[in-house]
Amino acid sequence: MTIAALCAACVAVVSLSNASPSVNSSAVYTSSINPDIPDEVEFCGQTISLDRADMWERYDRELTSIIYTHGNTLLTIKRANKFFPVMAPILKQQGVPEDVLYLACVESYLNPRAYSGAKAAGIWQFIADTAKQYGLEVNDEIDERYHLEKATAAACKYLKKAYAKYGNWESVMAAYNGGNGRITRELEAQIANTSFDLHLTDETSRYVFRIMAMKEVMENPRAYGYKIKTDQLYQPQEYETVEISGSISDWPTWAKNQGITFAQLREANPWIRAKKLTNKSGKTYQVKVPTAKSLSRSQQKKVTYNPNWVK
Protein backbone atom coordinates (compact mmCIF):
# COMPACT_ATOMS: atom_id res chain seq x y z
CA MET A 1 0.00 0.00 0.00
CA THR A 2 1.31 3.45 -0.88
CA ILE A 3 1.38 6.30 1.59
CA ALA A 4 0.33 9.06 -0.79
CA ALA A 5 -2.93 9.58 1.09
CA LEU A 6 -1.43 9.36 4.57
CA CYS A 7 -2.90 12.66 5.72
CA ALA A 8 -6.40 11.44 5.07
CA ALA A 9 -5.62 8.10 6.64
CA CYS A 10 -4.28 9.72 9.77
CA VAL A 11 -7.71 11.18 10.51
CA ALA A 12 -9.62 8.05 9.61
CA VAL A 13 -11.82 6.82 12.45
CA VAL A 14 -11.68 3.21 13.55
CA SER A 15 -15.02 2.15 15.03
CA LEU A 16 -14.97 -0.03 18.09
CA SER A 17 -18.72 -0.62 18.24
CA ASN A 18 -18.16 -4.39 18.22
CA ALA A 19 -15.42 -4.34 20.83
CA SER A 20 -15.57 -6.44 23.97
CA PRO A 21 -17.44 -5.03 26.98
CA SER A 22 -14.14 -4.21 28.69
CA VAL A 23 -13.33 -1.66 25.96
CA ASN A 24 -15.02 1.73 25.75
CA SER A 25 -17.24 1.26 22.69
CA SER A 26 -17.37 5.01 22.04
CA ALA A 27 -13.57 5.35 21.72
CA VAL A 28 -12.05 6.26 18.37
CA TYR A 29 -8.45 6.07 17.19
CA THR A 30 -6.52 7.56 14.31
CA SER A 31 -4.80 5.22 11.87
CA SER A 32 -1.04 4.80 11.98
CA ILE A 33 0.26 3.59 8.64
CA ASN A 34 3.77 2.28 8.13
CA PRO A 35 5.51 3.99 5.19
CA ASP A 36 6.59 1.99 2.16
CA ILE A 37 10.37 1.56 2.14
CA PRO A 38 12.07 1.72 -1.29
CA ASP A 39 14.61 -0.78 -2.56
CA GLU A 40 17.19 1.98 -2.86
CA VAL A 41 17.66 5.69 -2.18
CA GLU A 42 19.65 8.44 -3.87
CA PHE A 43 21.88 10.30 -1.45
CA CYS A 44 24.86 12.60 -2.00
CA GLY A 45 25.19 11.43 -5.59
CA GLN A 46 25.16 7.74 -4.65
CA THR A 47 22.56 5.03 -5.13
CA ILE A 48 22.32 3.24 -1.80
CA SER A 49 20.72 -0.20 -1.82
CA LEU A 50 18.40 -1.08 1.06
CA ASP A 51 18.26 -4.74 0.10
CA ARG A 52 20.40 -5.68 3.09
CA ALA A 53 17.94 -6.46 5.89
CA ASP A 54 19.67 -4.44 8.60
CA MET A 55 19.90 -1.37 6.39
CA TRP A 56 16.22 -1.67 5.40
CA GLU A 57 15.24 -1.86 9.07
CA ARG A 58 17.44 1.09 10.05
CA TYR A 59 15.96 3.26 7.31
CA ASP A 60 12.43 2.11 8.19
CA ARG A 61 12.99 3.07 11.83
CA GLU A 62 14.10 6.59 11.00
CA LEU A 63 11.50 7.27 8.31
CA THR A 64 8.71 6.09 10.60
CA SER A 65 10.05 8.15 13.48
CA ILE A 66 10.35 11.35 11.45
CA ILE A 67 6.91 10.97 9.86
CA TYR A 68 5.20 10.68 13.23
CA THR A 69 7.27 13.32 15.04
CA HIS A 70 4.85 15.83 13.56
CA GLY A 71 5.77 19.04 15.37
CA ASN A 72 9.52 19.01 14.81
CA THR A 73 9.22 17.76 11.23
CA LEU A 74 6.67 20.41 10.30
CA LEU A 75 8.76 23.17 11.90
CA THR A 76 11.88 21.98 10.08
CA ILE A 77 10.16 22.19 6.69
CA LYS A 78 8.86 25.69 7.41
CA ARG A 79 12.23 26.89 8.70
CA ALA A 80 14.00 25.40 5.68
CA ASN A 81 12.19 27.89 3.46
CA LYS A 82 13.91 30.66 5.41
CA PHE A 83 17.39 29.17 5.77
CA PHE A 84 18.00 26.89 2.76
CA PRO A 85 18.29 29.88 0.37
CA VAL A 86 21.24 31.05 2.49
CA MET A 87 22.84 27.66 3.13
CA ALA A 88 22.51 25.91 -0.25
CA PRO A 89 24.63 28.39 -2.27
CA ILE A 90 27.44 28.08 0.29
CA LEU A 91 27.42 24.28 -0.01
CA LYS A 92 27.52 24.57 -3.80
CA GLN A 93 30.37 27.08 -3.69
CA GLN A 94 32.31 24.79 -1.35
CA GLY A 95 31.71 21.70 -3.52
CA VAL A 96 29.63 19.89 -0.89
CA PRO A 97 26.52 17.89 -1.94
CA GLU A 98 23.24 19.71 -1.38
CA ASP A 99 21.95 16.69 0.54
CA VAL A 100 24.22 17.79 3.39
CA LEU A 101 21.49 20.33 4.18
CA TYR A 102 19.58 17.48 5.79
CA LEU A 103 22.44 16.85 8.19
CA ALA A 104 21.76 20.31 9.63
CA CYS A 105 18.05 19.48 9.79
CA VAL A 106 18.79 16.41 11.90
CA GLU A 107 21.31 18.25 14.06
CA SER A 108 19.08 21.14 15.10
CA TYR A 109 15.70 21.01 13.30
CA LEU A 110 17.07 24.28 11.84
CA ASN A 111 16.51 26.03 15.15
CA PRO A 112 18.91 29.01 15.02
CA ARG A 113 19.05 29.10 18.83
CA ALA A 114 19.77 25.39 19.24
CA TYR A 115 22.05 24.54 22.17
CA SER A 116 22.57 20.97 23.29
CA GLY A 117 23.40 19.38 26.61
CA ALA A 118 26.85 18.69 25.16
CA LYS A 119 27.26 22.47 24.67
CA ALA A 120 26.99 22.27 20.89
CA ALA A 121 25.49 25.43 19.42
CA GLY A 122 23.75 26.76 16.35
CA ILE A 123 22.13 25.12 13.35
CA TRP A 124 25.27 23.05 12.67
CA GLN A 125 25.79 22.20 16.37
CA PHE A 126 29.48 23.00 16.68
CA ILE A 127 31.35 22.37 19.92
CA ALA A 128 33.30 25.50 20.86
CA ASP A 129 36.78 24.00 20.40
CA THR A 130 35.92 22.59 16.97
CA ALA A 131 34.36 25.88 15.92
CA LYS A 132 37.56 27.75 16.81
CA GLN A 133 39.63 25.23 14.84
CA TYR A 134 37.60 26.13 11.76
CA GLY A 135 37.90 29.88 12.16
CA LEU A 136 34.79 30.77 14.13
CA GLU A 137 34.98 33.32 16.95
CA VAL A 138 33.52 32.08 20.23
CA ASN A 139 33.54 34.20 23.38
CA ASP A 140 31.17 35.94 25.79
CA GLU A 141 30.29 38.71 23.32
CA ILE A 142 30.45 36.94 19.95
CA ASP A 143 29.61 33.34 19.07
CA GLU A 144 29.85 32.68 15.35
CA ARG A 145 28.47 29.17 15.76
CA TYR A 146 25.17 31.08 15.52
CA HIS A 147 26.28 32.96 12.39
CA LEU A 148 24.49 31.04 9.65
CA GLU A 149 26.79 31.92 6.76
CA LYS A 150 30.06 31.51 8.65
CA ALA A 151 28.99 28.34 10.45
CA THR A 152 27.80 26.79 7.18
CA ALA A 153 31.16 27.55 5.54
CA ALA A 154 32.97 26.09 8.55
CA ALA A 155 30.84 22.93 8.41
CA CYS A 156 31.72 22.55 4.74
CA LYS A 157 35.44 22.76 5.55
CA TYR A 158 35.06 20.15 8.28
CA LEU A 159 33.10 17.81 6.03
CA LYS A 160 35.42 18.18 3.04
CA LYS A 161 38.41 17.37 5.21
CA ALA A 162 36.65 14.25 6.46
CA TYR A 163 35.68 13.27 2.91
CA ALA A 164 39.30 13.49 1.82
CA LYS A 165 40.03 10.98 4.58
CA TYR A 166 37.15 8.52 4.20
CA GLY A 167 36.12 8.83 0.56
CA ASN A 168 32.39 8.36 1.17
CA TRP A 169 29.73 10.64 2.62
CA GLU A 170 28.14 8.11 4.96
CA SER A 171 31.40 7.76 6.90
CA VAL A 172 31.84 11.53 6.86
CA MET A 173 28.42 12.02 8.42
CA ALA A 174 28.94 9.25 10.95
CA ALA A 175 32.14 11.03 11.96
CA TYR A 176 30.26 14.33 12.28
CA ASN A 177 28.15 12.63 14.94
CA GLY A 178 30.58 10.20 16.54
CA GLY A 179 33.90 11.94 15.98
CA ASN A 180 36.63 11.38 13.42
CA GLY A 181 38.80 9.50 15.87
CA ARG A 182 36.15 6.95 16.74
CA ILE A 183 35.09 6.28 13.15
CA THR A 184 38.70 5.97 12.00
CA ARG A 185 39.47 3.48 14.78
CA GLU A 186 36.35 1.43 14.15
CA LEU A 187 36.86 1.26 10.39
CA GLU A 188 40.29 -0.18 11.01
CA ALA A 189 39.31 -2.43 13.91
CA GLN A 190 36.23 -3.85 12.14
CA ILE A 191 38.00 -4.17 8.78
CA ALA A 192 35.44 -2.02 6.99
CA ASN A 193 35.44 0.70 4.32
CA THR A 194 32.12 2.36 5.14
CA SER A 195 30.24 3.29 8.29
CA PHE A 196 27.28 1.27 6.98
CA ASP A 197 29.26 -1.86 7.91
CA LEU A 198 30.23 -0.73 11.42
CA HIS A 199 28.83 -1.74 14.78
CA LEU A 200 28.54 1.64 16.54
CA THR A 201 26.63 3.26 19.37
CA ASP A 202 22.90 3.36 18.69
CA GLU A 203 22.92 7.12 18.10
CA THR A 204 25.73 7.07 15.54
CA SER A 205 24.44 3.90 13.88
CA ARG A 206 21.08 5.62 13.33
CA TYR A 207 22.49 9.00 12.34
CA VAL A 208 23.11 8.61 8.59
CA PHE A 209 19.82 6.78 8.08
CA ARG A 210 18.04 9.58 9.90
CA ILE A 211 19.56 12.12 7.51
CA MET A 212 18.49 10.07 4.49
CA ALA A 213 14.99 9.70 5.89
CA MET A 214 14.81 13.42 6.65
CA LYS A 215 15.63 14.12 3.01
CA GLU A 216 12.83 11.81 1.87
CA VAL A 217 10.18 13.46 4.03
CA MET A 218 11.32 17.03 3.35
CA GLU A 219 11.39 16.52 -0.41
CA ASN A 220 7.97 14.82 -0.43
CA PRO A 221 6.08 16.11 2.63
CA ARG A 222 2.57 15.80 1.20
CA ALA A 223 3.15 12.11 0.52
CA TYR A 224 3.51 11.71 4.28
CA GLY A 225 0.53 13.80 5.29
CA TYR A 226 2.08 17.23 5.73
CA LYS A 227 -0.06 19.97 4.18
CA ILE A 228 1.46 23.45 4.16
CA LYS A 229 0.29 26.65 2.50
CA THR A 230 2.74 29.12 0.98
CA ASP A 231 1.95 31.79 3.56
CA GLN A 232 2.67 29.30 6.35
CA LEU A 233 6.31 28.86 5.34
CA TYR A 234 8.81 31.02 7.22
CA GLN A 235 10.08 33.69 4.86
CA PRO A 236 13.65 34.86 4.29
CA GLN A 237 14.23 38.36 5.60
CA GLU A 238 15.69 41.25 3.64
CA TYR A 239 18.44 43.24 5.30
CA GLU A 240 20.62 46.25 5.07
CA THR A 241 24.16 45.51 6.18
CA VAL A 242 26.10 47.82 8.47
CA GLU A 243 29.84 47.36 8.98
CA ILE A 244 31.08 47.70 12.55
CA SER A 245 34.84 47.99 13.06
CA GLY A 246 34.88 49.57 16.49
CA SER A 247 33.24 48.98 19.82
CA ILE A 248 29.54 49.26 20.67
CA SER A 249 28.84 50.37 24.23
CA ASP A 250 25.16 49.45 24.12
CA TRP A 251 23.57 47.29 21.42
CA PRO A 252 19.97 48.13 22.47
CA THR A 253 20.66 51.84 21.89
CA TRP A 254 22.42 51.06 18.61
CA ALA A 255 19.44 48.97 17.49
CA LYS A 256 16.96 51.73 18.39
CA ASN A 257 18.96 54.19 16.30
CA GLN A 258 18.58 51.78 13.36
CA GLY A 259 14.80 51.71 13.81
CA ILE A 260 14.57 48.19 15.25
CA THR A 261 14.42 46.63 18.69
CA PHE A 262 17.28 44.84 20.42
CA ALA A 263 15.25 41.63 20.09
CA GLN A 264 14.99 42.12 16.32
CA LEU A 265 18.73 42.82 16.15
CA ARG A 266 19.48 39.58 18.00
CA GLU A 267 17.04 37.60 15.87
CA ALA A 268 18.77 38.81 12.70
CA ASN A 269 22.25 38.41 14.22
CA PRO A 270 22.10 35.58 16.75
CA TRP A 271 25.89 35.55 16.94
CA ILE A 272 25.67 38.72 19.05
CA ARG A 273 25.71 37.30 22.58
CA ALA A 274 25.88 40.38 24.82
CA LYS A 275 24.58 43.93 25.07
CA LYS A 276 27.97 45.42 24.19
CA LEU A 277 30.85 44.82 21.80
CA THR A 278 34.37 45.46 23.07
CA ASN A 279 36.20 44.61 19.83
CA LYS A 280 39.73 45.43 20.99
CA SER A 281 41.18 43.92 17.81
CA GLY A 282 39.23 46.26 15.52
CA LYS A 283 37.68 43.34 13.63
CA THR A 284 35.00 44.26 11.09
CA TYR A 285 31.60 42.70 11.65
CA GLN A 286 28.75 42.64 9.15
CA VAL A 287 25.58 43.43 11.11
CA LYS A 288 22.22 42.76 9.48
CA VAL A 289 19.45 45.30 9.97
CA PRO A 290 16.13 43.87 8.73
CA THR A 291 14.03 46.12 6.52
CA ALA A 292 10.67 47.31 7.81
CA LYS A 293 8.79 45.43 5.06
CA SER A 294 10.48 42.13 5.84
CA LEU A 295 9.40 42.44 9.47
CA SER A 296 5.75 42.62 8.45
CA ARG A 297 3.92 39.47 7.33
CA SER A 298 1.52 41.53 5.24
CA GLN A 299 4.37 43.26 3.37
CA GLN A 300 7.17 40.68 3.17
CA LYS A 301 7.75 38.87 -0.11
CA LYS A 302 6.31 35.35 -0.21
CA VAL A 303 8.74 32.88 -1.77
CA THR A 304 8.80 29.08 -1.82
CA TYR A 305 12.22 27.43 -1.98
CA ASN A 306 10.90 23.99 -2.86
CA PRO A 307 7.54 23.85 -4.71
CA ASN A 308 6.95 20.33 -3.37
CA TRP A 309 6.46 21.79 0.10
CA VAL A 310 3.18 23.42 -0.84
CA LYS A 311 1.78 21.27 -3.64
Give the DSSP letter string of 176-225.
HHH-HHHHHHHHHHTT-SSGGG----HHHHHHHHHHHHHHHHHHSGGGGT
Residues 291 and 195 in one domain: no
Residues 78 and 123 in one domain: yes
Instruction: Report whether pLDDT(8) > 60.
Output: no
The answer as to whether 303 is a domain residue is no
Mean predicted confidence (pLDDT) in 251-270: 98
pLDDT 10s digits, 69-96: 999 999 999 999 999 999 999 999 999 9
The range of the structural domain enclosing residue 25 comes to 1-33
Residues 134 and 48 in one domain: yes
Residues 96 and 213 in one domain: yes
The answer as to whether 160 is a domain residue is yes
The answer as to whether 194 is a domain residue is yes
Residues 15 and 119 in one domain: no
Residues 157 and 48 in one domain: yes
Residues 44 and 185 in one domain: yes
Residues 179 and 214 in one domain: yes
Look at residue 293 in the predicted model and tell me its pLDDT. Answer: 94
pTM (2 d.p.): 0.90
Residues 9-44 as b or e (16 or more Cβ within 10 Å = b): ebeeeeeeeeeeeeeeeeeeeeeebebeeeeebebb
pLDDT 10s digits, 166-194: 999 999 999 999 999 999 999 999 999 99
Residues 75 and 120 in one domain: yes
Residue type, 81: N
The answer as to whether 14 is a domain residue is yes
Task: Residue 198: give its domain's CATH number.
Answer: 1.10.530.10
Q: How many domains in the chain?
A: 3
